[in-house]
Amino acid sequence: MSSAIDVEGLSLSFPLYHGNARSLKKTVLSTMTGRMAADNRNRVVVEALRDVNLRLRPGDRLALVGGNGAGKTTLLRAMAGIYEPVRGRVRVQGSLNALVDPHLGMNPDLTGRENITLRGMYLGLDRRAIEGLAEDVAAFAELTDFLDLPVRIYSTGMIVRLGFALATSVRPQVLLMDEWFLAGDAGFMERARERLENLVRGVEILVLSSHVPDVVLQWCTRAVWMDQGRVRADGPTAEVLEQYLGYPVQMSEWARQRSAAGPL
């Protein structure tokens, strides 16, 4: 079964139940007085996504670019099935892994090993696969002696390494990735990038939300510019990036060298 993502006319809006608008008092009052009822019907709604259409097939590497609050992360979450459509339809075929939260379910009071086991269970892995997962993660994150100690006492660097290793340890058919993923200290980043490239190379569809032109140019073949919840431009990465940034983009020398090593 080959993977696919189809987003048709997707709109998402978040009702803002701010202050006491969310309270029972208002709900009760609004049914008793006409004015409040009108108030209630005109409740404040944030339109996070408006009529988004996307079609992705195996081999597609899509970058989502756009300013803060443009709807990039919300779109990732909608494609991951976390937010169900308010209007429209989302269809995703293939095993899916969404990396939207750096500390996804990581519990600081559990040991590193317990966290790894738990994540494995969330992913629906069997016992043997979870053992493999623990070995792989521990090796990459260099946690040797700390693996059986609570995450709470880890250094910040160790937590970042553990989170990163965990998130990149399973290979889905469809990978949805948020930009937080590319942040990290320089020393670690070199090793991290290698692992990430390995992962990205193995997935059938990649959707990456990013601000970093280098990464987008190197990894993606197509870009979508999100603006206020709408798709403002959709096309080849360089073109869309130029429109978005307002100046011609070029891969840096460093990125050129890396992508010369082999396309992703």
Partner 1 sequence: MESSTHLQPSEHAVLDLSADQRWGDRNRAAWRDIREGLSQWRLVWALALLDIRLKYRGSLLGPFWLTISTGAMVAAMGILYAVLFRLDLRDYIPYLGLSLVLWGFGAALVADSCAVFTASEGMIRSVRMPFTLYAARIVVRNLIILAHNFVVVLVVNTLLWTWPGGVAWLALPGMVLWLGVSLCLGLLLGALCARLHDVPPIVANLMQMAFFLSAVIWKPEQLGEREWMLALNPFFCLLEVVRGPLIGRMPSDLVLGCALFYSAVLFVVTWLVFARVRGRIAFWL
Supply 75's token pair: 């779109």
203-262: contacts with partner 1 (CB under 8 A) = none
SS3 for 55?
Answer: strand
Tokens encoding 101 = 């939260």
The rounded distance, in Å, linking the Cα atoms of 77 and 99 is 9
Residue written as token pair 């100046």: 247
**Distance in Å, CB of 255 to partner 1, minimum:** 21
Q: CB of 33: closest distance to partner 1 in angstroms?
A: 18
The residue from 65, 92, 162, 207 that contacts partner 1 (CB under 8 A) is: 92
Minimum distance of partner 1 from residue 172's CB (angstroms): 4
Query: In angstroms, what is the minimal distance from the CB of 20 to partner 1?
Result: 9
* CB 45 within 8 Å of CB 129: no
Q: Of these, 173, 209, 218, 237, which contacts partner 1 (CB under 8 A)?
A: 173
CA 197 to chain centre: 16
- Judged by CB under 8 A, the residue of 199, 216, 226, 231 near partner 1 is 199
Exactly one of 39, 51, 136, 242 binds partner 1 (CB under 8 A); that residue is: 136
Does residue 38 belong to the site contacting partner 1 (CB under 8 A)?
no
Write the DSSP string, 139-169.
Answer: HHHT-GGGTTSBGGGS-HHHHHHHHHHHHTS
Binding mask 55-84 for partner 1 (x = CB under 8 A): ----------------------x--xxxxx
> What is d(CA 133, CA 140) in angstroms, rounded to the nearest whole number?
11
Q: Which is nearer to partner 1, 90 or 255 (CB)?
A: 90
Q: Does the protein bind partner 1 through residue 147 (CB under 8 A)? A: no
Q: 126-149: string of b/e by CB count within 10 Å (b at 16+)? A: eeeebeebbebbbebbebeebbee
Contacts of 124 (CB under 8 A, 6+ apart): none
Enumerate binding residues for partner 1 (CB under 8 A): 1, 11, 14-15, 17, 22-25, 27, 77, 80-98, 100-101, 103-105, 107, 109-110, 114, 117-118, 121-125, 129, 132-133, 136, 139-140, 168-173, 194-195, 198-199, 202
